[in-house]
Structure 1
Amino acid sequence: MANKPSVMFVCVHNAGRSQMAAGYLTHLAGDAVEVRSAGSAPANTVNPAVLEAMREEGIDLADQKPKILTAEAVQASDVVITMGCGDVCPYFPGKRYLDWKLDDPAGQGIDAVRPIRNEIRCRIEKLIAEILPSE
C-alpha cells in the first residue's frame, strides 16, 4: 500500500451503503486516506433517508452524486470494498478485496437506515485501524 492508502466502496446504485461508507471514512480519517465510491448501475441521486441518517452524524452528503464504476478507479485503489455488486466489480491482482454483507437501504425509511449506518461506522473504524499506522 502507498503512503496514503486508497479505498474504493462499490455498491449497485452508489446511493446508499457506499456513500455512507465513503462519508464515514472521509470524516473519520480526514485526508490520510484517499476515498472513492461508485456503482455498477448508479442512481440519479443519493437516497434521501441516507442523507438524513448521515446528517444525524454530522456528515453532510448532499453534494455527493452517484458515479459509475470504472476499471481505472478500481485499479487506482489499494482496498476495494463491495456491498452487493457481486461479479460486476473488476478484479486486479494485488488489490485487497472485501465484501461487506449489508442490508440495502433502497426504499427504506430512516428507522431502517440507522442500523445499516451504525454497522457501516463500526466497519469503517475497524478498517481505519487496519490501514493507517498508529502514531
Structure 2
Amino acid sequence: MTKLAFVCVGNAGRSQMATAFAEQERDQRALNVEIITGGVDPADSVHEEVIEAMQEVGIDISDRTPREITPEDIEDVDHVVTMGCSVEQFRPDDWSGDSTTWGLSSSDTRDQRDELNQRVKQFFDDLQQHEQV
C-alpha cells in the first residue's frame, strides 16, 4: 500500500481540498492508497468558502475537522505534499519518503480548488506510472 499526506498550515483549506480530490481519485481508480491530512497550526474548522467551493463540484467536506500533523503521522508515509509549510516542520529525522511543495497560482478559493483537482489527477497519474498501487 502507498501512503500519502497532504499538509498545509491550518488544514482548513488547501490540504482539505487536495485530500478530498485524492480520495476521489483513489476510489475511482480502485487503488490501494491511504491518505492523511493535517496542518502545522490547525484552524478550528474548515473554511466555509472551501466547503461551499467543494460542494459546487459535488464533494461534501462539511464534516471534516482540521487536525495537527505529527512526526508519528509521517513516519510511514511514502509521499508528502505540502502547501504553505515545509516538511521539515513535522517530519521525523529518519523519514525517507518523498516530499513535494505545491505553490498555488491564485489565492482565490475556487481557482485553488480547480488547480488542486488538476494537480491531484496528475499526481495519481505519475503514481500509477512509477509505483505498484
- Gaps (5+ residues) in structure 2? none
CA separation in 2, counterparts of 1:103 and 1:38?
Answer: 21
- Pairwise CA distance, 1:74: 1.1
Which residue does 2:112 correspond to in 1? 116
The answer to whether 1:50 aligns with 2:50 is: yes
CA drift at 1:93: 4.0
Tell me which amino acid in the other structure corresponds to 1:127: F
Question: 2:18 — aligned with what?
Answer: 21
Secondary structure class of the residue paired with 2:73? helix
How many residues matched? Answer: 126
> Which whole-Å CA distance do the structure 2 matches of 1:28 and 1:67 have between them?
22
- Matched residue, 2:100: 98
Identify the residue that residue 35 of structure 2 maps to in structure 1.
35
Q: Could you tell me whether the CA contact under 8 Å between 2:75 and 2:95 is conserved in 1?
A: no
Task: Judge conservation of contact 1:22–1:35 (CA < 8 Å) in 2.
Answer: yes
Q: Point out where structure 1 has 5 or more consecutive residues left out of the alignment.
A: 106-111
Give aligned-pair identity as a percent.
Answer: 33
Q: Which residue of 2 aligns with 1:78?
A: 78
CA distance in 2, matches of 1:121, 1:104: 14
CA contact under 8 A between 1:54 and 1:117: conserved in structure 2? Answer: yes
Which amino acid is the alignment partner of residue 115 of structure 2?
Answer: E
Instruction: Show the counterpart of 1:109.
Output: none
